[in-house]
Amino acid sequence: MFYSREIWFSIDIPMRERPEMKFCLSSILAVTALTGSAIAGIPAVQISVAGSSGGSVSAAPVGSPGGDPFQYSYNSTLAGTGFLSNFTLTATDTTSSNRAIFGGLITVINASASVQTFTIDFSASTFAHGSSSLTGGSVSGVLTGNSDGGLFASANGNSIWTAYIRASAMNNTIASLLNAPFQVTSAADNVASIPGEAFGQPIPTQPAMAMGDAMGIRLLFELGAGDQVDLTTTFVLEAIPAPGAIAVFALIGLTQRRRRRE
């Protein structure tokens, strides 16, 4: 948190550009905050899985540093009544970056003897900044059937994949993919590709609301008895700085150019 106190300081510049320029530290700190440079923090990830057989589980895995700057990795295996699920996810520290990337690989096995409807929610906390955002996302996968063949389909007329931004405790839908009616089947003991879909291409380019307190993905689908589905997905947000931050950047640049001309 930055406290609003006016602190002025001067810096040395070449003789031809004197007198010394002075900058308001509170303005610089405000711009820094809006561009996403703040105290680093590991995103809080939440996962919940529910099957229509009555099983429901949740987890809050702790992230570990990933290979890219500001990226964290999350792994979780959740077993419930009649199913087994596994998550390998990544999330971005948005206190240090104005771009949030969230997603990964999700595996669900229907271990029951009948078709089940699964509802899966997974979200990552974000640092709310910017006046709006650009978004994009994608999903694709593979269905592995059992000895009776495989089934992966939309449920109750709903989209299988939905991305949302959470703000003020409300989930705001940004986009939906694999819209109903959608169905993929596979031959007995065989695999079938789940065609990929995307929005905001090149990702991220679709305008949306400002980055909120969290970003998330909901999966809602039917999966045949004994079948397995592996889904690869991503959701990307890029915060657009507020007009005030852009104006401050422009003003500083203009002042420096004028002084150089003088």
The CA-CA-CA angle for residues 190, 109, 164, to 5°, reads 110
Q: What's the chain's length in residues? A: 262
CA-based nearest residue to 210, from 101, 134, 124, 139: 134
Say how many Å lie between the first and final Cα of the chain, rounded.
38
181 preceded by a cis bond (ω within 30 of 0): yes
Decide: helix, strand or coil at residue 189: coil
Q: How far apart are CA 126 and CA 147, in angstroms?
A: 43
List the one residue out of 115, 68, 113, 111 whose CA is nearest residue 86: 111
Quickly count: other Cβ atoms within 10 Å of residue 189's Cβ: 12
pLDDT of residue 150: 98
In the chain (262 residues long), the average pLDDT of successive 10-residue segments reads: 36 39 35 37 96 95 91 97 97 94 98 98 95 97 97 98 96 98 98 98 98 97 98 97 53 48 56
pLDDT score at 258: 53
Instruction: Report the pLDDT value the prediction gives residue 40, as an integer from 0 to 100.
Output: 57
Of 186, 85, 88, 204, the residue nearest 144 (C-alpha): 186
- pLDDT on residue 262: 56
Residue 249 backbone phi and psi in degrees, to 5: -60, -45
pTM: 0.79
What confidence score (pLDDT) does residue 66 get? 86
Q: How far from 83 is each of 77, 143, 223, CA to CA, in Å? A: 11, 15, 10
Domain locations in the chain? 8-35+252-261, 45-240
Q: Look up residue 210 and give its DSSP letter.
A: P
Which residue, among 121, 221, 242, 132, has the nearest Cα to 171 in the 3D structure? 121
For residue 136, give the nearest of 100, 111, 96, 160 by alpha carbon. Answer: 100
